[in-house]
Structure 1
Amino acid sequence: MEFDKPPAQPQQPQGCLVVAVRLPVRIVVLVLVVPVRMVWDLLVVTGRFLRDTVFRPVGRALLWTGRAVFVWPFVGLWRYVLVPVGMALAWLGRVLVVVPAVWVYRHVLTPVGHGLAWLARGVGAGFAWVYARVLTPVGHALTWVLKGVGAALAAVGLGVYTAVAWLLRYLVVVPARWLYAWVLAPVGRGVAWCVRGLGWLLGLLVTGVGAALYWTARVLFVLPALALWRWILAPVGRFLAFVAREVGEALGHAWRVAGRLSRAFGRALATLFRWIFVEPVRWVYRTVLTPVGHAVRDAVVRPVAAGLRAVGRASREALDSARATVRQARADVRRALFGEPRQPVAVDRREPSGGAARSLGSSTTALTKD
């Protein structure tokens, strides 16, 4: 299934101004960018060569040196010094602190705690008896007395509250209500009507002044600024944006063309170097050095290697025979000084050997013998 390709957009016709700006810009940019791109490609090739031949080996050597100087000593110190010392300190701490502390807790603090708990339970039982037999009746009696006193005080307080409330109603509330209804409310309404009228007049004044200032600012500032933007700044900005876009596209096009030129120039140099240096060296290696090396190998190296192998084989045989002779002489001297070595005594094994061993088909098993 083939994917549907998007329809190609029709190219819009370009005016003479576009062509007149684009061609000189692209020519000038191409002339300026080609040397820069060739220098850039040369720097890239040099950087890759230095990375592969200098920086990477030096970095690996520095990494190995850092490990040997910093990492491995600390690893050895941790593994062979700190860990054993820590284990020894942990063992000493356990023997000198933990075990005595556990013994003291188990044989001293636990019995003392049980005794204190028993004593606390006894004291608690005594306090409970005192509370139940003494404090509770006394509390009930005090509660009954306080209830009676509270009822009497409540009756007296209710009467006093009623009298004070009646006095406050007819001495304060009724006069204040009459004053608010017949004096303060009419005065407040008149003041509010005056304030609303004054606000309406001020609103009219502010509206007129604002409209005058708005039209003055619009005529003196907004309309000239709008005309300046529409007829001068916007066309100049569009022209500058067009020039900047064309310069950017020219830079991109020139950079790509310079890359192709630089690649072609590099390939030409590589081909020239190959035909001037690499191919002659390869031809000399194949037609001169390889036959000479084969002749030297067949005439000198292989015979010398075969002779060295024969000498080594003879030397090993001589050393083996000398070693066997020395071993035999040492055994003879030991036998002459200490006598024959003691022979091992045969010991009967529990299991029968060889053909006398038990089997499933034999009648000597524990299940089948009579």
Structure 2
Amino acid sequence: MVDVEKAPGAGPPEGPVRRADAEGCLAVAVRIPVRIVVLVLVVPVRMVWDALVVVGRFVRDTVLRPAGRALGWLGRALFVWPLVALWRYGVVPLAKGVAWLGNVLLVVPAVWLYRWVLTPAGHVLARFLTVVGAVLAAIGRGLYAGLAWLARYLLVVPGAWLYRWVLTPAGHALARCGRGLAWCCGQVARGVGLVVTGVGFVLYWTVRVLLVLPALAVWRWLLVPVGRALAVVGREVADAVGHAWRIAGHVSRAVGRFLGTLLRWTVVEPVRWVYRSVLTPVGHAVRDAVLRPLAEAGRGAGRAVRQALSSARLSVRQARADVRRMLFGEPAERRPVDRREPSAAEARTLGSSTTALTKD
């Protein structure tokens, strides 16, 4: 067999192996000071952090959890249990007692009163009202018959006789008089109509000759020509105003363009020339001579800091490994476990008291 065991002091490498020529000069220069600083600062901070974690867990397990449980039990003892007991042993029995008392004092008497007093009284009253209603109906029918007979012989028969023998002849006579009076009125109205028609005809022609024809002549021969003349004048005035407005727009546009050109050549173009010919080259020069070198230096410093931090982490791991080895020694090596099946000589037999699993 090939011996693959390693020396006691040799262990697996903690990180990737780096070549000495692959590291920068800055990383090599700051490695030892950074390791010293990290060893001096980080180890106490880690120890304080572990102590705080242990203290926090101890406080959580010994103070906060019992205090929370105590507060929960106290809340249940002060609020929940008294309310449950009050509801269970106070409100519920009191409600049941009030319900029983209401049933005994109100419901049962009301049911007894309804069943043994109001119901029989209602039946008796209904029967009495039925009898009284029948009597009143009979009396009402008799009174209706008597009143109907009286109304017939005291009102209807005399009224019919009066209508037939008095009012009808009088009405016929009045109708004949009315027809004669209407014919006379018609004749009078016809004469009045003829008079009114003649007066209206005279008034119509008088108004037509004196008012309508002069007004029509004034409208046709004076107002219409004057209106047409004023319309022509107004149209021309409107056209003139429109042409003047358009010309003024062209003039104002020309003036605006002139002022814009003047502002451009006196302000904008000099500013543009200064920006393009002076500020842009200066900015490019500042960018190329100052900002980019600063950015490159910042990136280089960042890479150096990251390399230094990586070296510091590696140094801390190595220091922790060394401290563990100094305090606790080398860790015990694990023996390889042989998981093969037992041989024929070590297998269980009929005459042995042990098996391959319980055997040393």
TM-score by length of structure 2 reads: 0.49
Q: Which has the higher contact order (CA 8 A, sep 6+)?
A: 2
